[in-house]
C-alpha cells in the first residue's frame, strides 16, 4: 500500500470554510484503479493556523502516480487555486510506502 498526504496550514478563522470546500468538492477518487480510501484530518491549532491533512490510501505507489497523471486528477484540482487565501503557503506533499500494517 501507499499513503499520499498533503498538509495544509489553514489560517485561524478559516477552518470551517476550508472544511466546507472539501465536503462539497468532487474528488473523482472512487472510480480510480487502486484507490482504497480518503480522509480529511484536522490537527492541532497553532498561533496563526490549524494543521489539516488530506490522506489517501492506495493499493500501490504506481496507482497513485497514475491518478496524478489522469484527467480525473486535473478535474479534481481544477479550482484549487481559488482556495489559496484559506491557507498559509502551499500544501506540503508527503508520500509513504506502507511497511507494516496491524488489523483487528
- The predicted-structure confidence for 50-92, as pLDDT tens digits, reads as follows 999 999 999 999 999 999 999 989 888 887 777 778 999 989 9
- Cell 500494517 belongs to residue: 101
CA 79 to chain CA centroid, nearest Å = 14
Cα distance from N-terminal residue to C-terminal residue, the chain: 18
Which pLDDT value is given to residue 90?
87
Angle CA 51–33–100, to nearest 5: 60
Which pLDDT value is given to residue 77?
80
Task: Name the DSSP class of 85.
Answer: G
pTM above 0.95, yes or no: no
pLDDT tens readout for residues 15-44: 999 999 999 988 889 989 999 999 999 999
What fold is seen in the domain 2-97? Answer: Alpha-Beta Plaits (3.30.70)
**Closest by Cα among 44, 71, 73, 43 to 56:** 73
Which pLDDT value is given to residue 58?
98
Amino acid at each position: 500500500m501507499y499513503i499520499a498526504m498533503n498538509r495544509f496550514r489553514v489560517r485561524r478563522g478559516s477552518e470551517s470554510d476550508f472544511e466546507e470546500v472539501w465536503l462539497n468538492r468532487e474528488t473523482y477518487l472512487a472510480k480510480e484503479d487502486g484507490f482504497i480510501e480518503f480522509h480529511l484530518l484536522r490537527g492541532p491549532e497553532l498561533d496563526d493556523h490549524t494543521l489539516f491533512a488530506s490522506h489517501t490510501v492506495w493499493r500501490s505507489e504506481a496507482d497513485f502516480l497514475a491518478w496524478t497523471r489522469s484527467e480525473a486528477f486535473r478535474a479534481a484540482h481544477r479550482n484549487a487555486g481559488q482556495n489559496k487565501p484559506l491557507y498559509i503557503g502551499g500544501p506540503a506533499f508527503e508520500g509513504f510506502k506502507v511497511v507494516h500494517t496491524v488489523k483487528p
